[in-house]
Structure 1
Amino acid sequence: MNLDWTKASRERLDQLNEIDEFRLKSYDSSTIYKGKMKKWHDTLIVQREFNVGDWVLLYNSRLRLFPGKLKSKWSGPFRVTRVFTNGAIEVEVKEGPPFKVNRQSLKLYLGDCQEIALLEELYLENATLSHDVK
């Protein structure tokens, strides 16, 4: 126990100053760490550029509820009709009105869109099987 009031108050002020210095150093190091992590994360983001007339595929996020091996997570193709500056893109389908989607949920469709058509419908009601089904 220290009964000298001036010495005890000086020690207590020194302890409070050390705590403040430690807090400031930890704040600075966390700011530096966050800046480095943001820079690293931003290098991994792929910037996608879309132009009017491009064909794109739309990511279907609702398939996560009903996963399946053979279900595609991408639907489309859709044609880009407008590109907004805020990241929204307006796409259209052959039948139905155009709608807006986020740029991050699209990717370019690299196939030939002229080939996408219904070639033939085959109904299996009247078809015969080549082997017996038990």
Structure 2
Amino acid sequence: MLSIFSNQLADANVGLIGSSIFEHEMPSTTEQGVLIRATKDGIQVDPEIPDYYDFNLEIIVRAPTLEEGEQLTEAVQTTLISDKEQIITIEPEGQPIAKLNFVRPRKFPIVSSRTEGSGYEWTFDIHVNLASIKAA
């Protein structure tokens, strides 16, 4: 599921998957990048409503300067946050895999200096509501 969001960031030229956009963990050597991971709550499932998910993701933005970090955080939020329904497809086939109902911010980003090396990190959560689409 995280690949939906990392692909959106890559498609918007926010970064490159594997070098500046990461899922689950970001190498400590990365000076500037974006990490997308599930919050500590995980992604809940409801057996009464199969293939429907309402969950939070944690986004961590890392940058060497405050200015660069603010710009990258803004680019991530502009790309991901939306109240418009979107059909997510697998390219190049165009096979629909999910209907993204909305992505909303849960809190303003919190900025802190890194304990390892130099630079800063911005942390914020987004609220995601989506339904997976099964292939016919």
Q: TM-score range with shorter-chain normalisation?
A: under 0.3
Bigger helix share: 1
TM-score, normalised to structure 2, is 0.23
Question: Taking CA–CA contacts closer than 8 Å with sequence separation of 6 or more, which of the two structures ends up with the larger relative contact order?
Answer: 2
Bigger strand share: 2
